Structure 1
Amino acid sequence: MNLGQNQISVQQFPDTVQSWKRDGYTFYFYCTESALEVSVKSDKVIRFRYSPESIFQRDFSYSGAHNYEGKVKALDIKEDGEKFTICTAFLDIVITKHRLLVTILDKEGKVVIDDEKGFHWEEHKDYGGEIVMMSKKVQSGEHFFGLGDKPTDLNLRGKRFELWGKDTYGFMKNADPLYKNIPFFLGLHHKIGYGVLFDNSFRTFYDFGFERKNVYSYWAHGGEMNYYFIYGPELMDVVETYTNMTGKPELPPLWSLGYHQCKWSYYPEKVVKNIAAEFRKRSIPCDALYLDIDYMDGFRCFTWNKDYFPDPKGLTTELSKDGYKLVVIIDPGIKIDKNYWVYQEAIEKDYFCKRQDGPLMRGSVWPGKCNFPDFTNPEVREWWSGLFKGLIETGVRGVWNDMNEPAVFEIETFPNDVRHNYDGDPCSHRKAHNVYGMQMAKATYDGIKRFLAPNYRPFNITRSAYSGIQKYSSVWTGDNVASWEHLWLANVMCQRLAISGISFCGSDIGGFIETPSGEMYIRWLQLGIFHAFCRTHSSGDHGDQEPWSFGEEYAELAKKTIELRYRLLPYLYTTFWQYSKFGTPFLRPLTFLDQNDTETYFRQDEFGVGDNLLVIPVTQAEADGRWLYLPSGVWYYFWDDERFHGNMEVWAEADLNRVPIFVRAGSVIPMYPVMQYVGEIELKELILHAYFYIKSHTSVVYEDAGDGYGYEQGHYNVRTFNTSGSDNQFVIEQSVKGEFIPTYHTYAVNIHGLAFEPRKCEVDGQEVAFTMENQEKNEIKVMVPIHFGKLVIS
């Protein structure tokens, strides 16, 4: 493998095990000089740490994975000739005495992963320490997924990647590296899924059969060979486990799942007010408006340009009355200015990063010459969090962290010799680079929450990230381009982020650079409304990009599209609750919906949203429909209720008025009436759309106040709907857990696709009236009290 410049490959390997010991759930194997630590974190999660010199480094990671402790039901070890076998309830881990080669098998004896060279290393000639390496055999028919925001095909087989956060303006397909550093990937072969978290923050590389077709490998230019193996066998289970290991997010405020409008830049305040007024005048829903760097005084963080925004508090108050939340940008660079209070404090407290020999790290970004806080220092993070007091008291409700790879003009990023605290383990930028942006986001999140809670929940977005970022922030895919290729990339990148534990993601709808056509904007919007983070953003250099910027025809289409987002909010919020509760990804690639169907392995346009929706965006110009692949099951076309069987390709009619959406048969989909912003109207009824199916199916609906922390005291409801059907009957049964009291008392139940002509409707044994919505398709509507237990249509 190519290890980088100025490196001579003198690879070293463990020799033979001389001794071993067991300490609870951890096993140690000692060779003449090197050692292996195997920790059984659960019956399905095994951690491997290798040391060339039998000295293990401090057990710490910003991912938080080192603190994970799952359930271990059974554990044993056997020594047999030239190998050891560690046995859990689901796995057998075979370790050879010579070279410490590892093979992991399931209980049927199927190989899941198998070392090729296994662990090996070589001295880093430039910086000292070791380049730590791992290589494994590619199994027959194996496929790979994950690694965060890589702008390439969903399936990673045959590709090679680097993790080293980089400001990549106008990136194109296959650009690498990019903004985020997510060292987690999934493997799938013989319908068995697994995952690997290589928890190392140094510059890291992955090769999935690029250099040698039958070998995949990963290596880092420092630190430990420290990886976690996560067994499925279901891919969805792997992602859930990984997300639980690295941290689940808390529930965001419901408004953050609404539509957001942004531009570089909206100023002065008159422009912001005009944009806000235009949304309401046109009845186009919108919950959040953004201020980019021009709102600041000379781009100084935590300040306001008084010429552009003479009364920030007045502005946020006025916007709030009309249903808007204001989100402002904050970058890491602090302008070198002895009269600037943030700079003064950081200098006095010695909070800026330094070069190796003592000078402060200095680089040019938007304010000009800047110094940069060391966000790996917990004391600096605490200070940074406190800086948000003024913004929050002004009425700001969200913060947008940008340029935090960290990006520096002219030299791209910090030099390698910059020093960091690394939470008490001082190091160079080589180790801290990939976590810098994440720790800035953590400090920002803590600050927003400190001054908003308990009445409100924090909202934060970040461009750079490391594993575990989902605990602190949403993300977007960076400075994209208004092109059909980038529309396609936005789809794939957000799917990849979701299966990498980061579901609160989206793209700059319409493209940040250049200007889309009206058609492209609408198609992008039709994708974006199904991402958890839904924001139009543009550079503004080539024209405006508000929904009405492309003419009245497209304004009406944008209005209809965004209205669909708001109608689906209770479903999307439920899906986010599943993510925050269980670690279940918000977006689910087709392979993750049906990994037993090999036809899904190279499909990447289709994706699931939650349990019951399938979306297939149109990513080509002048299309009036598209071919797509349906996974197993029975599916209804959302727009006309045509029913399809899965495991086959179908054609979906989709002119510019619609995006192909399919609903899983048997499901119950909650919807709101159209609203202009979250909380605008007091709900009088919750709309439920139930889809007939001959088999049983379960759907859930989660609800709470949409903000604040009452849900932590039980003020929430989880409504479970079980449906079942036959040739002459359709049954919906409901159970409810929780203590939240909603404003509505009635369900408007719309039942689609009945296989029989309905004659009677009973609610808890009492006959009630219903209306026929579509005689030809046997679609009915019935009003039902929210406390019902059983609804029977016959």
Structure 2
Amino acid sequence: MFGKIVSHKVEDNKIHLEFEKNKGILEVINPMIVNVFCPLKYNNHYSRAVENLNIEQCEILVQEKGSYIEIKTEALLIKVYEDFKVDFYNIEGKILCEDFREERAPFIRRGTISDAQDEGHNVDKQAHNHKIEVVKRLFGDEKFYGLGEKTGHLNKRGYYYEMWNTDDPTPHVESHKSLYKSIPYFITLREDSTFGIFFDNTFKTYFDMGKENSEYYYFGAEDGNLDYYFIGGNNIQEVLKGYTDLTGKTPLPQMWTLGYQQSRWSYSPEGRVKEIAKNFREKDIPCDTIHLDIDYMESFKVFTWDKERFPDEKKLLNELNEDGFKIVTIIDPGVKKEKNYDIYETGLKNGYFATDKDGITYVNRVWPGDSVFPDFSNKDTRDWWAENQKLLLNSGVSGVWNDMNEPASFNGPLPDDVQFENEGRNTDHTEIHNVYGHLMAKATFEGIKKHSGKRPFVITRAAYAGTQKYSTVWTGDNQSFWDHLRMSIPMLLNLGMSGISFCGADVGGFSFDCTPELLSRWVQVGAFTPLFRNHSGSNTRDQEPWAFDEETLNINRKYIKLRYSLLPYLYDLLWSGETTGLPVMRPLVLHYERDKEVYEINDQFLFGENILVAPILEQGKKIRTVYLPEGQWIDYWTKEVIDGGKYILKDAPLDICPVFIKKGSIVPNYPEQSYVGEKDIKELTLDVYPGQGQYVHYVDDKASYNYREGEYTLYEFIMKSDEKVAIDINIKHEEYKAYNSFKVIYNCNTIKEISFNEEKLDFLENNNKIEFIIPAISGKLVIR
């Protein structure tokens, strides 16, 4: 395909390579990130994920070494050979990533395919061949993480996946190759090195992580350019930062979006919505959000309201908002084909809909019946869609839930030859399919931002790399199965490792019928999941916290209240993630990547760096093994101090989710509240676990973009521990009126004396804890 190297030329940060049969470009983005590019379809990059590429000026040394070209940055050494084989080394010359030189050789599969298929078995075919293929050598010590929301275990070694956004309502199992999102990015962890690869190609792509043969792994595509980024780093955290520097960080959301959310297909008519809201308040269960599924619309027409079910939606939403409830409404891309329906008529008049190859508006069937599909690859269409968001905002809607945007359709999938404008680079559905939901989310985000002035809340089912800039995501139509509770954890962890920090799964499961025990265990996971939404499907039994029995209600209340107490900690994680790219839910390997015990842990996770969660994921189970990594950990419930670096057994009756706090942690807590903003919180609780540690707490108005103009306050806490514990409190930035005082809960009862700024303080002993109050100012807290 390429042949031998004929010549090369250096132009700024680009190395142009002329081969016998083709050409290639290596572009140094910064010393750790290099782009490998061949213009097989388009002459230049055209990325939907990388929108603001920042090229760092850095020293690049290029030398011809006989059979190869050698390129050096401060951090990497790259060797380019004939046939555009590219090998990456660290600067000391250790091989990190090497192209495979031999022919692909799939494992032998024995048996008669037709006989197996006749009985109904799914049979893997022999080798797939793709227009674009990059085959990499497996050294044997690789672990693979990322690739978005795929099924299976945390480590993707030995799995095969396809990136083709797919609405598949059958129960999701490990053999599913595609789901709703396509994030063609993975992290490779080796014994003494790590790196990431982002294959920026929106056509159908393929990732075989050693399933075909244990000698190699590969990624490929049906069309488009050869266009991938090698992302180096000294650890996984640096690699993830490099990837999110390219594709964007998850922006800080409004705080109410982090509260508990209740949904169902569907809460309708308005009396049912009021009933749900009333139950939350009367039963003392915090809740910020109620979602309205498709039945709020008139004949499923987007941007309309059914006036029989919701005769005065503005009045209803205003009343709910006064009681602290924000309403999020679903919007699908399918626009009903109907005369005199303004959305359809305007879109048709202006050419905003996708067409067939003859230029006729393409029609398929979705919920409204015959429907047409906005061409979100066209900026004019996105601008129009963004303007339509004000129709919802004017009704009092607080957020928008984009569904069915793979796009899904009932009369078979959209044909490959459906046409899209693609910003003047006309193309077909094969190129746009995987970014259709991404572009819809972008339009929705921009419309809400423009017309509300607040940080938008958008939730999407379909996504591509970079969607984190515009939307939170959920993992689609799961089932009320224990298997799906178990599967949700590695799915969410890998979404986080793929740049999408604000994510969640439907608590309790969408399809089938949830049980009291399953909901009790699922809400315990949900309390530590960024998007915390209970959602269930049509014709399933009720799944609200009170729908089962008193015990289930009490467990839901307990963990939802725990979530609300941890809101300032969660908000801090998302604030810092806007800079670092680190997710909220983290696999243990993210912080302990040299500990071999954590590489395959699928059933525990870190909530930030300070809190370890080890939920129960099996029916009837009341005890579990927990792995605690190095250091010391404190049982959140009993306050027992436990040495890490080992497995322990933890009792976990139905109302207990095992949670452990890292020694040296300071965890900010809020007082009880029914919804975000119910109280003007002037006293922050600091839950202190004595030891060596540092924590930064962030405060702003929880809703606007003023923080980007400096309107926020930043508290730094530095804790040192020897014969005494000393906590230095520094206000690093103070442009937002925050707290008057800190209530300190000190998790130790062997205290003789406490002083703040050399003034002695009174304190109370309370169940293995010491409690006292100090002013929220800079100073030194000393505990003896």
Q: Look up the match of 2:115.
A: none
Residue 414 of structure 1: aligned partner: 414
Alignment partner for residue 89 of structure 1, among 56, 70, 74? 74
**Rounded Cα–Cα distance in structure 2 between residues aligned with 1:585 and 1:554:** 30
Q: Decide which of 672, 693, 700 is 1:704's aligned counterpart.
A: 700
Relative distance call for 1:59 and 1:288 in structure 2 (3 A) is: same
**Letter paired with 1:95:** V
Distance 1:328 1:100 in 2: 49
1:372 corresponds in structure 2 to: 373
In structure 2, the residue matched to 1:683 is 681
> Are the aligned partners of 2:250 and 2:502 in contact in 1 as well (CA < 8 Å)?
no
CA distance in 2, matches of 1:608, 1:404: 31
Report the AA paired with residue 575 of structure 2.
W
How far did 1:70 drift?
A: 4.9
Match of 2:50 in 1: 64
Q: C-alpha distance in 2, partners of 1:393/1:212? A: 56
Give yes or no for the alignment of 1:759 onto 2:739: no
Where 1:187 maps in the other structure, the secondary structure is strand
Q: Mean alpha-carbon deviation: is it higher for 433-442 or for 620-629?
A: 620-629
Q: How does 1:89-108 map to 2 (within 5 A)?
A: 89-96=74-81, 98-108=82-92
Distance in 2, matches of 1:399 and 1:744, equals: 32
In the alignment, residue 458 of structure 1 is paired with which amino acid?
P
Are residue 440 (structure 1) and residue 440 (structure 2) matched?
Answer: yes
Matched, 1:41 2:39: no
Structure 1 counterpart SS, 2:168? coil
Secondary structure at the aligned position of 2:330 is classed as: strand
Separation (CA, whole Å) in 1 of partners of 2:291 and 2:772 = 42
| Cα distance in 1 for residues equivalent to 2:36 and 2:388 | 40
Alignment partners' CA distance in 1, 2:266 and 2:580: 38
Alignment check: 8 A CA contact 2:713 2:738 kept: no
- In 1, Cα distance between equivalents of 2:314 and 2:187: 47
Contact 1:259 1:285 in 2 (8 A): yes
Give the structure 1 partner of residue 715 of structure 2: 719
Task: State how 1:609-628 maps to structure 2 within 5 Å.
Answer: 609-628=607-626
SS at match of 1:166: coil
Q: Aligned partner of 1:16: which letter?
A: K
Contact 2:354 2:372 in 1 (8 A): yes
The 5-angstrom pairing of residues 498-517 of structure 1 reads 498-517=496-515
Shift of 1:710: 2.0
Asked if structure 1 preserves the Cα contact closer than 8 Å seen for 2:714 and 2:734, the reply is no
The answer (yes or no) to whether the contact 1:119–1:132 under 8 Å persists in 2 is no
User: Which residue of the partner structure matches residue 786 of structure 1?
Assistant: 776
User: Following TM superposition, by how much is the alpha carbon of 1:587 offset from its aligned partner in structure 2, in angstroms?
Assistant: 1.3
Whether 1:729 aligns to 2:714 is: no
* 1:191 Cα deviation from its structure 2 partner: 3.1
Shift of 1:582: 2.1
Where 1:227 maps in the other structure, the secondary structure is strand
Question: How many angstroms apart in 1 are the aligned matches of 2:583 and 2:370?
Answer: 41
1:524-603 equivalence runs, <5 A: 524-603=522-601
2:122 maps to which residue? none
**1:739 aligned partner:** 734
| CA distance in structure 2 between the aligned counterparts of 1:361 and 1:579, rounded to whole angstroms | 41
- Identical columns (%): 38
1:324 alignment partner in structure 2: 325
Sort the Cα spacing of 1:173 and 1:22 in 2 relative to 1 into closer, same or farther, 3 A: same
What is aligned with 2:111?
A: none
1-structure distance, mates of 2:94, 2:130: 33
The TM-score normalised by the length of structure 1 is 0.94
Give 1:225 shift. Answer: 1.0
String of CA shifts for 1:402-434, please: whole Å, max 9, x gaps: 0000001130x2100001112221111111110
Provide the residue aligned with 2:257 in structure 1.
256
Residue 140 (structure 1) aligns with: 140
- Is the 2:699–2:736 contact (alpha carbons within 8 Å) kept by the matching residues of 1? no
- Which residue does the alignment assign to 1:115? 99
Aligned counterpart in structure 2 of residue 78 of structure 1, from 63, 88, 105:
63
Q: Deviations over 1:80-124 (max 9, x none)?
A: 22222111111111112x22322111123221100114999xxxx
The answer on whether the counterparts of 2:71 and 2:78 sit within 8 Å (CA) in structure 1 is: yes
Structure 2 counterparts to residues 203-222 of structure 1, below 5 A:
203-222=204-223
Mapped pair 1:27 → 2:27: no
Match of 1:771 among 756, 764, 769: 764
Aligned length: 759
Q: 1:742 to 1:523 in 2, by over 3 A?
A: farther
For 1:155 and 1:193, locate their aligned partners in 2 and report how far apart those are by CA, in whole Å.
Answer: 14
Compute the TM-score of the two structures, normalised by the length of structure 2.
0.95
Give the residue type in structure 2 aligned to 1:409: F
The one-letter amino acid of 1:502's match is I
Unaligned runs of 5+ in 2: 105-128
| Match among 742, 749, 756 for residue 744 of structure 2 | 749
Q: Is the 8 A contact 2:143 2:156 kept in 1?
A: yes
CA-to-aligned-CA distance 1:153-208 (integer Å, 9 cap, x gap) = 11111111000001011432222210000010110112311100000000000011
3-state SS, counterpart of residue 424 of structure 2: coil
Offset from partner CA, 1:324-374 (integer Å, 9 cap, x none)? 000000000000101211000011101110111222211000000001110
- Change in Cα spacing, 1:31 to 1:723, as seen in structure 2 (3 Å) is same
The code of the aligned residue for 1:131 comes to: K
CA RMSD, Structure 1 to Structure 2 (Å): 1.6
Contact 2:130 2:220 in 1 (8 A): no
Contact 1:45 1:230 in 2 (8 A): yes
Kindly report which structure 2 residues correspond to 1:220-231, keeping only aligned pairs within 5 A, or say none. Answer: 220-231=221-232
Give the distance between the partners of 2:102 and 2:310, measured in 1 at CA: 60
Q: Answer yes or no: is the 8 Å Cα contact 1:43–1:72 preserved in 2.
A: no
Residue in structure 2 matched with residue 191 of structure 1 by the alignment: 192
The alpha carbon displacement at 1:249 in A equals 2.9
Cα contact 1:763–1:792 (8 A) shared by 2? yes
User: 8 Å contact 1:682–1:743 — kept in the other structure?
Assistant: no
Quote how far apart the aligned CAs of 1:773 are: 2.6
Q: Is the 8 A contact 2:375 2:420 kept in 1?
A: yes
Cα deviation, 1:231-258, whole Å, max 9, x if unaligned, reads: 1221111112211210123221100000
Query: What is the letter of the counterpart of residue 99 of structure 1?
Result: D
Alpha-carbon shift at residue 515 of structure 1 (Å): 1.5
Kindly report structure 1 stretches of 4+ aligned residues shifted beyond 4 Å: none
* Alignment partners' CA distance in 2, 1:504 and 1:592: 17
Q: Which residue does 2:108 correspond to in 1?
A: none
Structure 1 match to 2:114: none
Is 1:645 paired with 2:640? no
Matched letter for residue 519 of structure 1: E
Counterpart for residue 338 of structure 1: 339
- CA–CA separation in structure 1 for the residues paired with 2:345 and 2:736: 50
Which residue type is aligned with residue 262 of structure 1? Answer: S
Instruction: Report deviation, 1:72.
Output: 4.5
* Per-residue deviation, 1:744: 3.0
- The Cα of 1:130 is off from its aligned counterpart by 7.7
Contact 2:441-2:471 within 8 A present in 1 as well: yes
Question: 2:110 aligns to what?
Answer: none
Q: Distance in 2 between matches of 1:207 and 1:599?
A: 25
Asked whether 1:232 is paired with 2:233, we answer yes
Q: 1:766 to 1:107 in 2, by over 3 A?
A: same
| 1:29 partner amino acid | L
Match of 1:16 among 4, 17, 34: 4
Contact 1:239 1:585 in 2 (8 A): no
CA distance in 2, matches of 1:612, 1:202: 40
Q: Aligned letter for 1:539?
A: G
The AA in structure 1 aligned to 2:727 is I
SS for the counterpart of 1:533 is coil
Counterpart of 1:307 in structure 2 is: 308
